[in-house]
Amino acid sequence: MDFISGETFYIDKPYGWTSFDAVKRLRGVILHRMHTRKLKVGHAGTLDPLATGVMIIVTGRSTKLIEQLQAGVKEYVATLKLGATTPSFDLETEIDATHPTAHITRELIDSVIPGFVGTIQQTPPAFSACKVDGARAYKMARKGHEVNLKPKTLVIDLIEVVSFDPDLMELTLRIVCSKGTYIRALARDIGEALGSGAHLTALRRTRVGDVSVDSCLSIDQAVELIRNSPVTLPEEANSSQLS
């Protein structure tokens, strides 16, 4: 493997890990393998800690492709709990309000969903990595500060109802969308449209561009691959560039 020229890893990010955790884990193994302390390692598209699925990690010169890789269409499978809201729109924070759900039927859901397909305006969650006056929104939100974010234009190509459990008031959706879509914010907005509120209880990114989660490695598999593959060391890379 030539980590300086650039390698790409397709990872199935574990639940509870931040995107930085995944990058840090692979970077540490790579640096140890190369006997060096410096190498660019980055990821193409952040996943929330409570989400799992496709994450693309690149090294060396391949980090220049991050913007291109991030631009790929994303596919998610999301589970929403209807009738309750949280400040973060997911399980990171506790339920802050509950709402009636007796009026919610599959027919109502099918009538509401099409309103979120196409080019839409979406206000990002306060608990997000968006910056406000140079500070990350989630840091301000966790301190109890009010966060005002502007709506962004994005494209949702498809929302398909996978299942709806009227007893548990759980709605599972398959979503195909553009870069920059916050599925937590989509859960919030769908809940509001249903007149009940909602929050995200599970999220899995199943595709980024042409990369599906079925072709991804676990973190442990990626670590073993790095440890057991032939590696071009910095001195060898510099020598090949000069020859």
What is residue 39's three-state secondary structure? coil
Radius of gyration of the chain from its Cα atoms, rounded to whole angstroms: 20
Q: Any catalytic annotation for residue 48?
A: yes
Residue showing tokens 């009227």:
166
Type and span of the H or E element at 23: helix 19-34
How far, rounded to the nearest angstrom, does the alpha carbon of residue 52 sit from its chain's CA centroid? 8
Burial class (CB in 10 A: 0-12, 13-18, 19+), 73: middle
Task: Give the CA diameter of the chain.
Answer: 73
- Catalytic hit among 12, 21, 48, 220: 48
In whole angstroms, what is the distance from residue 60 CA to residue 70 CA?
17
C-beta of residue 137 within 8 angstroms of C-beta of residue 127: yes
Residues annotated catalytic, as ranges: 48
